[in-house]
């Protein structure tokens, strides 16, 4: 247990902040797992749709691969937004805890727990980040090239 120099902050507030930090990290880990699942399902279903187009000889089936890519690209943008929002709150809590360890006081105006808000605009912006968009654009380009080769 931490020995507070100032009784302004009670030990239960400190415990709530510690628990919130753990919870935020746990949420981030969950969204990291979702990111892996999204990529796995993207590649699997994209491969199946391309294989189906080759097997059937109907090149319009490649449109399905493009629709799948767009859907999973959006899912990944949403997932990234959620993860980044939890990371932002985790970092805020970490700064507060660092302040507590240095001064023994809780900064004014801090409240815990505080859950992040998610909004769709950030999801679209995150989907356009280079490290997220390049794989989807590359697979989409492959689908388009294959369309002209079948």
State pLDDT tens for residues 12-66: 788 888 899 999 999 999 999 999 999 999 999 999 999 999 999 999 889 999 9
State CA 58 to chain mean position distance. Answer: 36
Q: Which residues contact 32 (CB under 8 A, 6 or more apart)?
A: 83
* pTM reported for the whole predicted model: 0.83
Mean pLDDT of 129-150: 95
For residue 7, give the DSSP letter.
T
Give which of 73, 74, 76 is closest to 31, Cα–Cα. Answer: 76
pLDDT tens column, 52-64: 999 999 998 899 9
The reported pLDDT for the residue numbered 9 is: 52
Secondary structure, 3-state, 22-61:
HHHHHHHHHHHHHHHHHHHHHHHHHHHHHHHHHHHCCHHH
For residue 116, give the DSSP letter.
P
Q: Which residues contact 110 (CB under 8 A, 6 or more apart)?
A: 17, 96
Q: Which residues contact 44 (CB under 8 A, 6 or more apart)?
A: none
Tokens of 98: 């660092």
CB 96 within 8 A of CB 106: yes
For residue 109, give the DSSP letter.
T
């Amino acid at each position: 247990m931490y020995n507070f120099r100032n009784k302004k902050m009670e030990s239960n507030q400190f415990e709530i902040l510690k628990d919130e930090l753990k919870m935020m990290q746990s949420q981030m880990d969950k969204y990291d797992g979702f990111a892996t699942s999204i990529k796995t399902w993207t590649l699997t279903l994209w491969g199946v749709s391309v294989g189906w187009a080759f097997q059937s000889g109907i090149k319009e089936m490649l449109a399905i691969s493009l629709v799948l890519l767009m859907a999973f690209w959006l899912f990944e943008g949403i997932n990234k937004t959620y993860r980044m929002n939890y990371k932002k709150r985790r970092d805020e809590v970490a700064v507060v805890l660092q302040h507590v360890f240095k001064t023994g006081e809780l900064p004014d105006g801090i409240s815990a727990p505080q859950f992040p808000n998610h909004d769709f605009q950030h999801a679209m912006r995150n989907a356009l980040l280079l490290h997220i968009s390049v794989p989807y654009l590359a697979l989409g380009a492959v689908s388009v090239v294959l369309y002209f080769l079948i």
